[in-house]
Amino acid sequence: MADGPIAQLQIASHNVQGLNSPIKRRKVLDYYKHLKLDIIMLQETHFPSRYSPKFLHPHFPQFFLASANNKTKGVAILISKNHKFVKIFEHADPEGRFLLVKGMVGDHLYSLVSYYAPNRGQATFFDSLLHSLAQKLEGMIILGGDLNAAFDQGLDKSKPPRSQLTRPTKESLRIAKAIHTHGLSDIWRELNPNKRDYTHYSSPHNTYARIDHILTPSSLLPSIHKAQIRESALSDHSIVTITLKTGALGRSRGHWRLNESLLSDPIRVTELETALQEYFTLNKTENTSPEMLWVAHKAFIRGKLIQISTQIKREQRADILRLDAEYNKLKASHKKDPSKTPSSLIDKARLDLNLALTAKAEKVIRWNKHKFYTQAHKIGPLLATRLSPPIKTHALPKIRINPPRLIRPRY
């Protein structure tokens, strides 16, 4: 059987600086969905261990948390609904500093680690973390987190004009030694050996630093297709992403459901009525049975509804894409030369993008509240959904045959 296109996983690490606000949680996770991220390692979720959420976002139904007792620290790992993840092992730090999750995606074993280092003693924390997890890590090992320290003081920190090249500190040398001892690589730096880019901006010091990283064993480097630093208006930290080439993943197919709001829009209803009249006019012939005509019209109108929904989503995203591009352009210019790009312009662009994302998130939350208020105590679709068993994935990542061996389908 001929091989199909190579599947890819979009993996990200991001310090979100708190997700307790329902509106912020919704707009942040909507943004991750927009970026088409598959696995996300979060830091500073700020969920207290006693009141951790049971649900985050419909696009990320599987998530794992490590939380402290109070609303500080906290890390998480999110899995997109597009991939079936089977958890094998989980180890959460009770202080909310790190989280290890092992599981299968398709027929690949992954060890995912999200970590958040303290502001002091980063090298001690990092070395202790790697030693404590060394015997537990296997398969494709990916660590993502906020180390609160730069690996290379010269390349990973911006410097004021006429400043001298900063010498490596004892802390950075100890971190580099720990990474080398455990055979890990800083993916972004490996793919961008001489490039300057940063993940965090300190306003009091007017300096940038690259303190957020994704690390993997050196043996995994040939499978890494791309590494990027993406600006984020939702946090002071940028999003670090890598694209991992892997085999067929058994990507789950979505289940289409009618967007009932389309039937409340007179313009869309008229458009659907016109399309149906045209369909029956063109296809009602002597050679077409009424049964066939009726069955086929269902597929036709479903396609028309999907087309309209896609058009509406594209129009809604256009404004956010424009604001996002404007913010990224200003941020990139500010990184190169802070004196040429006033901070006020960046703050305004960031505010505009945040307002657009907030309006979208508030609309979704208002609709959900209205739906539960009007339908919570009635027999209807909401109750049926709650009572029905969860839909299992239809993807078959592997098949066992005789003689005993596994066959993985190619897509």
Q: Say if residue 59's pLDDT is above 70.
A: yes
Residue from 31, 115, 116, 327 carrying the catalytic annotation:
116
Three-class secondary structure of residue 370 per DSSP: helix
Domains of the chain, residue spans: 7-246, 260-375
The helix (run of H) or strand (run of E) holding residue 52 is none
pLDDT computed for residue 401 by the predictor: 65
Please compute Rg for the chain using Cα positions: 25
Q: Which residues are annotated as a binding site?
A: 15, 44, 146, 148, 236-237
| Structure confidence by residue, pLDDT tens digits, 15-31 | 999 999 989 999 999 99
Tell me the percentage of the chain whose pLDDT exceeds 90.
39
Query: Tens digit of pLDDT for each residue in 265-294?
Result: 889 889 999 999 999 988 888 888 888 889
Lowest mean per-residue pLDDT among 9-13, 35-39, 170-174, 370-374: 370-374
pLDDT in tens, 242-252: 999 876 544 55
Average pLDDT, the chain: 84
pLDDT of 2:
40
146 is annotated as an active-site residue: yes
Residue 9 or 253, more confident:
9
Sole residue written with tokens 């940028």: 238
Percent of the residues in the chain that have a pLDDT greater than 70, as a whole number: 86
Q: Report which of 65, 43, 62, 51 is spatially closest to residue 22, judged by C-alpha positions.
A: 51
Residue set of the binding site for Mg(2+): 15, 44, 146, 148, 236-237
Specify whether 201 is catalytic.
Answer: no
Whole-number pLDDT of residue 333: 84
Q: Residue 237 catalytic? A: yes
pLDDT in tens, 112-162: 999 999 999 999 999 999 999 988 999 999 999 999 999 888 889 887 544
Nearest to 188 by CA among 135, 144, 249: 144
7-246: what CATH class?
alpha beta
Catalytic residue of the set 38, 146, 156, 197: 146
Overall average pLDDT of the 344-354 stretch: 83
DSSP string across 23-45:
HHHHHHHHHHHHTT-SEEEEE--
What is the pLDDT, as a whole number, of residue 373? 67
Kindly name the residue from 46, 182, 237, 334 that is annotated as catalytic: 237
